[in-house]
Structure formats: structure tokens, C-alpha cells
A = this chain, B = another copy of it.
């Protein structure tokens, strides 16, 4: 990964935002900028330097993984090692001017901010910085896209596994366990979120993670799952019908499929995320079903399962080539059933590539 390039592009933005340096504490951002995958570390990026801080438990891991930044193995927690370093390395020429240190307000806790302030002399000012790293992360480079494709391909291969194990009486957890085992054996470090296998009336729960409920003889089963492979996440949903589907069930499924297709067709550079969301809702409105689509249309995916941009009502973010987002409309009738269909798509120069290769045909088993 091009850590050095990423750090340089970030450094070029600091003065525009009137930051002397940026303290990166969000671990996916740290990983993005310097490669560290452990769970204790932070990074200081100033115009001329990038320094990574961790503690003694991660000495060999840091030396192995980190590039594009100096490594400091501190005796204190990384945040305080970083503060110590800042004090030692404040520029002498501007020592009397306030030093503005950007922090990640959406991640840094109130308590960590307090500890940081206590460790820094008064010439340092903390400022909640704009989400510069999150913005950079939206645009995936070739190596990232390759990893995301591999993660998508692996998760798609789990769906036939799910179908083979799915029959009335088998618990949702058993189906999930079989998928997760297959993923792990294929090299995934884990699932990207708790696997959702939501059957019967539970299919109406948009967040119905697999439970001990046996799959009933009749009804939809929403399968929403993803893996983490080489650090990158995937996310997909397919909904199947167990039993003999009524016309009603088929109509419901087709409405979601139409909405999903409409949103996919709306994805291209220059369009806003909000417009994609609206494209998903439009066909549902026509059928007076829009009120049963109770969540947003999608989200970015990469090092994190949920990252920028949000694909939701009114979101002004303009799509650009290299963005990877989910398109996942659903309909949920409480106490009855639910359907969701989700693909991951890559924004290209002229439109988008649907990364998820799995059929969206109505399937009854």
C-alpha cells in the first residue's frame, strides 16, 4: 500500500486547514496511513513529519508493518507518548506562536482530550479537525479495489453454503456458523459484522442478527453478511423464500429488486449520494411502499464496514470514480416479513461496476 503517498497528500492539506499537525487516533485511519494493524497506536502528521506511536507489546509488529512514518515505542500509552514527542519537537522558530493540533472529534473521547490537554503546555491548541483521512479513504486505489473484490468474491461464495444448510428446523445460528466457518477456512480474519440470518417474522427486523430460532417452514429469510479479508470488508444481502411463495411474497420481492436496480442504475460520477437514495425510493413510492423502507440506501465500505459516503436522503456527497458503496434497499412489514437485497458497487469513470456476482432472481427453497 502507498502509505507514503497517503501521508504526503494529507500533509499538503494541513496548512489549508490551519493545522500545525494532526493527531490520528482512529485505528482504521492509522492503518490507512501507515499500515499498523494492532489495537494500540496513534500517528502524528505534521507538514514535514509522520510519527507513529505504540507501546512495547507491539514492538516487532510495528517494525514489520509500519511504513511512511517513524516508529516510536513509548513507555506510556500511545496518546501520551505522542504528547511527549510533540513537546520535545515543537518548532523552535515558532515556539511562541500557538501550535494548533488537529484531533479527530468523532473518535477522541472527552477523557482522552482532557489527558492530552494536561500533558501539553498551554501553547498547544486542540481543534476538532475536518475528517481529512475519512475523505481520502473514500477514493479507493487499485490495490484497495483488488482487496475489496477478493473480499466480495469470498462472501459471495458463502451464499451457496448458506442455502445448502438452510431448511426448516435448522436454527439461524447454525446457518450463520456454517458460513462463518467456511469464511474462516478460506482465509477471512473474521466476519465484517455479526451475521444476519433473519427468518419468518424476524425478517422484518432490519438488524435481526442470527438467533437460536429454527427456520420456519414458510417465509422469507434475510441473509446479510460479509467478511474481512486482508483488512478489507465486504457486505451483501440476499433474501430467499422458504416454502411455496404466494403472489404477495413475489410482489414484495420484486418491488425491492426494482428499487435496488433503480439505485444501481443511478450510480455514476457527478451524482450525489442523496440522488441515489432517491432513485431507490421512487419505484417504492409508486407502489405506496416507501414507508416500509425504513433505513438508508447504503454506505461506503473499505477498511471499515461502514464508512463515508453515506447513501441517504439529502446527502450532498458527489460520487467519484473509486468510491465503493452498498446499495441495499429493503421493505419491512412488522410482525409479517421483510426483504432486503444488497450489492457492493464500484463507481467507475462512466457509471459503476456491480461487484457482487450473485443472482438476484427470486429464489424459493
**Chain A contact residues, CB within 8 Å of chain B:** 38-39, 56-61, 103, 105-111, 113-114, 128, 173-174, 176-178, 180-181, 184-185, 187, 189-190, 194, 205-207, 209, 212, 294-295, 334
Knowing A39-B207, A184-B177, A212-B187 are in contact, say whether A109-B111 is a contact too (CB < 8 A).
Answer: no
**Bound CA span A299–B194, Å:** 25
Kindly list chain B residues whose C-beta atoms are within 8 Å of the C-beta of A107.
109
Kindly list chain B residues whose C-beta atoms are within 8 Å of the C-beta of A207.
38-39, 57-58, 61
**Bound CA span A206–B60, Å:** 11
A57 touches B110 (CB 8 A): no
**Bound CA span A105–B115, Å:** 11
Kindly list chain B residues whose C-beta atoms are within 8 Å of the C-beta of A194.
189-190
Kindly list chain B residues whose C-beta atoms are within 8 Å of the C-beta of A39.
207
Kindly list chain B residues whose C-beta atoms are within 8 Å of the C-beta of A334.
59-60
Q: Which of B173, B174, B295 contacts A57 (CB 8 A)?
A: B295
Residue of B nearest to A208 (CB): B61
B185 touches A177 (CB 8 A): yes
B60 touches A205 (CB 8 A): yes
Kindly list chain B residues whose C-beta atoms are within 8 Å of the C-beta of A180.
180-181, 184
* A61, A174, A184: residue with the most chain B Cβ atoms closer than 10 Å: A184
A205 touches B110 (CB 8 A): no
A294 touches B56 (CB 8 A): yes
Kindly list chain B residues whose C-beta atoms are within 8 Å of the C-beta of A174.
185
Q: Smallest distance from the beta carbon of A304 to chain B beta carbons, Å?
A: 14
Q: Which of B108, B181, B187, B295 contacts A181 (CB 8 A)?
A: B181
B109 touches A106 (CB 8 A): yes
Kindly list chain B residues whose C-beta atoms are within 8 Å of the C-beta of A209.
189
Q: Which of B60, B103, B110 contacts A108 (CB 8 A)?
A: B110
Knowing A60-B334, A207-B39, A212-B187 are in contact, say whether A128-B111 is a contact too (CB < 8 A).
Answer: yes
Known: A180-B180, A181-B181. 6 other contacts (CB 8 A): A57-B207, A57-B295, A60-B334, A105-B114, A110-B110, A110-B128
